[in-house]
A and B are shown apart, each in its own frame.
Chain A
């Protein structure tokens, strides 16, 4: 599998503020990649750098085999971008903006365009100034989704959408993936990434702190286990990789590292297990864990 986006050691400073501090990011072809981080971590800056809208001070960048700063227009022909804060021309209608952006990207497929307008339930005749935030976002999303490109870069695409539109959006992204297209979406909504993405990268203070499939990331973290046992199990607390162990009235709860799981389960089995529940960590846990580490 080839890589669609490779950023290595990217540094972007705005005056005294360092927004990206040696950022590495790899997005593979055909995957839906979530770029996660809280507000101000550098998500939008990263996306704007890899689009060639901002000029990085250091690092190497390869997007679809091109240098985004030098081959900007050629690169843009092959991708579609939805900004996080979509601002439309106040006196142009939504339909006009969708068609304009499509033409500037190299052509619109009217069938696809109408289909997405229908699916996202947008009135394309309204003027830009009278759209709500969610509707402005839909205009940019429809323009992007309706265009026939290899890479979709979406900055917090669902932040203004209602739950129904959110599910329409997820459906559309799955269709893109089924077509073999690549999607990079930034988000701070973890459930969205969990439901949609093949791989995630977590950014903190301008650096990627974790990157991989959800399974890989989970492997690095602890699973929460709850069990009921017949008799007391001595020595559970002494097992390496077992944390926060609580035993009360034959009920055991603990956080267990992935590597320690076999030993832990074996020890429980020796104590006569009645029930056993284990929850893999949610993205939320991953996230909090990384941010708590600072």
Chain B
């Protein structure tokens, strides 16, 4: 080898090859899944709009519906088949792949460091910055592969070459920016959980910024230009293909990479930027429930804070959405649909539904602590005391149920408050939106129960609950587009949550969710009772 054998970057290639080898299943699985999802959704949509006229009508309807604009963004060229059929995939898809990349990059940085495995490697011939460099290169290679395959997939289903390339680029750059941001987050926190939390918070913030920015009349407001997901949208694939916008994520990456390395060189292996403080010499944790609360409270507080802030922001823009619909024809069309109130309600209902799914993710993370406690060996300590397995599992599960309910209620109340302040009816709106959010609790509880069932029977498959959530989201978004049978759509618990406000509550489906959830949870407990503790 001609390169020098010392210095902080020695071993980067070895580490990169090692990372790619470890992910030889998971990375291709995600990339192929995402490419298949985007290609299928185009294939399914394109026959729906055979001519320009039908596309313009559909695009106008989307652009005029604030809830859809906030969720997905605008169709910037109403005549373009690509722009219309990929509207759900542009911002939403960029956020989804960014989440995947945050998980992947943290997995190869902070998780390795926290577990002590990295120490084994760094004590060998691997330089101090090599693991980080390898993870960032991994983000670059992974996002490039994703972008290329996405472009190829879109080309294969018959979309124009330039737009396909622009769309692939938009996705790849979003994945790259958040992958690199995750590399920065991994330098800040001591736990991988904290790093993932920071990464996901950044994505949620970026998504919210562009949601609010996109609601501006005509061109998106400046908030959208602060968001990497907004940049992906503003490349405008199939609607002008504005290549120059891709300079923004590249500049952001060029800034974040040196920041990550600077942070890395400023800290010791295994530590974060903030040094550990000493804890109390005697404990006040008074038992099992106290332990659960102690271990879970940080995550709960973070989720509550995020739910309240995002709920308030999204709630306060709801009233503005009717301002988008100023043309006389539009107003006529709206009256037909049920008036302005109806549109605002539809927007609020969409917000609450999405929020319900996100909190389903919190339910998963919270119950999955059981498995983390088991595989880390902490459960050995607790379960060798007078604590029974049932009480141990129910303590975390019960906490997860309560906390899930609390986050939904807080978020619903915040949406109501944001909306209520702008329409001058805070109390009434808080009550209305809180009860709307409460109706989404059962579905989130079913997700919690599914994790418990996996934990009881297939403990190593507990992370698969995230895959289930992804499947349910895809079913909800694209199931009807793909003309899937009703029973398939009904597999998702979220399909049984009512659309509130605006719909009659079907108590039957909510009770059904609770019964199914209870049965799944009981099944999980039976499995947990009879299986071995596993590492």
State the A residues within 8 Å of B (CB): 48, 51, 53-55, 72-74, 76-77, 79-81, 83, 85-101, 103-106, 110, 124-127, 129-130, 140
Choose from A79, A83, A125 the contact partner of B278 (Cβ within 8 Å).
A125
Contact indicator B285/A99 (Cβ below 8 Å) = yes
Choose from A72, A74, A92 the contact partner of B279 (Cβ within 8 Å).
A92
13 inter-chain pairs at a CB distance below 8 angstroms, sorted by A residue, are A76-B386, A77-B386, A87-B380, A89-B295, A92-B279, A93-B280, A93-B281, A95-B282, A97-B283, A99-B284, A124-B281, A125-B278, A126-B278
Interface SS majority for chain A: mixed
Contact indicator A126/B388 (Cβ below 8 Å) = no
Assembly CA distance A73 to B384 (angstroms): 8
The segment from B58-66, B330-338, B511-519, B527-535 that touches chain A is B527-535
B385 interfacial by beta-carbon distance below 8 Å: yes
Q: Mark B110-121, 1 if CB is under 8 A from A, else 0.
A: 000010000000
For residue A90, which residues in chain B have a CB less than 8 angstroms away from its CB? Answer: 114, 190-191
Contact indicator A127/B276 (Cβ below 8 Å) = yes
For residue A80, which residues in chain B have a CB less than 8 angstroms away from its CB? Answer: 384
Assembly CA distance A140 to B270 (angstroms): 23
Assembly CA distance A73 to B385 (angstroms): 7
Choose from A87, A105, A125 the contact partner of B281 (Cβ within 8 Å).
A125
B382 interfacial by beta-carbon distance below 8 Å: yes
Which of B114, B277, B387 gathers the greatest number of chain A CB atoms within 10 Å? B387
For residue A101, which residues in chain B have a CB less than 8 angstroms away from its CB? Answer: 381-382, 385
For residue B286, which residues in chain A have a CB less than 8 angstroms away from its CB? Answer: 103
Assembly CA distance A91 to B299 (angstroms): 13
CB proximity to A under 8 Å, residues B320-374: none
B378 interfacial by beta-carbon distance below 8 Å: yes
The total of chain B residues at the interface (CB under 8 A) is 38
Assembly CA distance A140 to B388 (angstroms): 19
Of chain B, the residue at the smallest CB distance from A124 is B281
B291 interfacial by beta-carbon distance below 8 Å: yes
Which of B114, B279, B284 gathers the greatest number of chain A CB atoms within 10 Å? B279
A99 in contact with B282 given A89-B378, A104-B387 (CB within 8 Å):
yes
Contact indicator B533/A126 (Cβ below 8 Å) = no
State the B residues within 8 Å of A (CB): 114, 190-191, 270, 276-288, 290-291, 294-295, 376-378, 380-389, 530-533
Contact indicator B287/A103 (Cβ below 8 Å) = yes
Contact indicator B279/A104 (Cβ below 8 Å) = no
Assembly CA distance A89 to B378 (angstroms): 7
Assembly CA distance A103 to B285 (angstroms): 9
Assembly CA distance A127 to B275 (angstroms): 11
For residue A92, which residues in chain B have a CB less than 8 angstroms away from its CB? Answer: 279, 283, 285, 294
Assembly CA distance A103 to B295 (angstroms): 17
Q: How many contacts between A and B, using CB within 8 angstroms? A: 117
A98 in contact with B377 given A54-B532, A93-B278, A104-B382 (CB within 8 Å):
no
Choose from B191, B288, B384 the contact partner of A81 (Cβ within 8 Å).
B384
From residue A97, how far is it (CB to closest CB) to chain B in Å?
7
Of chain A, the residue at the smallest CB distance from B298 is A91
Choose from B279, B291, B376, B385 the contact partner of A93 (Cβ within 8 Å).
B279
Give me 5 other A-B pairs in contact (C-beta within 8 A), A87-B376, A88-B378 excluded.
A48-B533, A85-B377, A92-B285, A95-B282, A127-B278
For residue A72, which residues in chain B have a CB less than 8 angstroms away from its CB? Answer: 383, 388-389
Contact indicator B279/A96 (Cβ below 8 Å) = yes
Assembly CA distance A50 to B378 (angstroms): 18
Which 5 A-B pairs have CB atoms at the shortest separation, nearest pair first?
Answer: A93-B279, A99-B283, A96-B283, A87-B377, A104-B385
Choose from B277, B283, B380 the contact partner of A100 (Cβ within 8 Å).
B283
For residue B284, which residues in chain A have a CB less than 8 angstroms away from its CB? Answer: 96, 99
Choose from B270, B378, B387 the contact partner of A87 (Cβ within 8 Å).
B378
Contact indicator B530/A55 (Cβ below 8 Å) = yes
Contact indicator B530/A95 (Cβ below 8 Å) = no
Assembly CA distance A55 to B285 (angstroms): 30
For residue B295, which residues in chain A have a CB less than 8 angstroms away from its CB? Answer: 89
A76 in contact with B385 given A55-B530, A85-B377, A97-B283 (CB within 8 Å):
yes
Choose from B190, B279, B288, B530 the contact partner of A125 (Cβ within 8 Å).
B279
Of chain B, the residue at the smallest CB distance from A74 is B386
From residue B292, how far is it (CB to closest CB) to chain A in Å?
11
Of chain A, the residue at the smallest CB distance from B386 is A77
Of chain B, the residue at the smallest CB distance from A78 is B386
Of chain B, the residue at the smallest CB distance from A90 is B191
For residue B291, which residues in chain A have a CB less than 8 angstroms away from its CB? Answer: 100
A106 in contact with B279 given A55-B530, A90-B191, A96-B285 (CB within 8 Å):
no
For residue B531, which residues in chain A have a CB less than 8 angstroms away from its CB? Answer: 55
Of chain B, the residue at the smallest CB distance from A98 is B283
Which of A74, A76, A104 gathers the greatest number of chain B CB atoms within 10 Å? A104
Assembly CA distance A124 to B281 (angstroms): 5
Of chain B, the residue at the smallest CB distance from A130 is B276
Contact indicator B279/A127 (Cβ below 8 Å) = yes
Of chain B, the residue at the smallest CB distance from A113 is B282
For residue A87, which residues in chain B have a CB less than 8 angstroms away from its CB? Answer: 376-378, 380-381
Assembly CA distance A101 to B170 (angstroms): 52
Choose from A79, A126, A129, A140 the contact partner of B381 (Cβ within 8 Å).
A140
Choose from A73, A96, A97 the contact partner of B388 (Cβ within 8 Å).
A73
Contact indicator A53/B380 (Cβ below 8 Å) = yes
Assembly CA distance A34 to B531 (angstroms): 28
Which of B288, B377, B380 gathers the greatest number of chain A CB atoms within 10 Å? B380
For residue B389, which residues in chain A have a CB less than 8 angstroms away from its CB? Answer: 72
For residue B384, which residues in chain A have a CB less than 8 angstroms away from its CB? Answer: 51, 53, 76, 79-81, 83
From residue A115, how far is it (CB to closest CB) to chain B in Å?
14
Which of B280, B284, B286 gathers the greatest number of chain A CB atoms within 10 Å? B280
Of chain B, the residue at the smallest CB distance from A140 is B381
Assembly CA distance A256 to B63 (angstroms): 98
Of chain A, the residue at the smallest CB distance from B279 is A93
Assembly CA distance A95 to B278 (angstroms): 11
Contact indicator B381/A83 (Cβ below 8 Å) = yes
Contact indicator B386/A126 (Cβ below 8 Å) = no
Choose from B282, B285, B386, B532 the contact partner of A73 (Cβ within 8 Å).
B386
Contact indicator A105/B386 (Cβ below 8 Å) = yes
For residue B280, which residues in chain A have a CB less than 8 angstroms away from its CB? Answer: 93, 95-96, 125
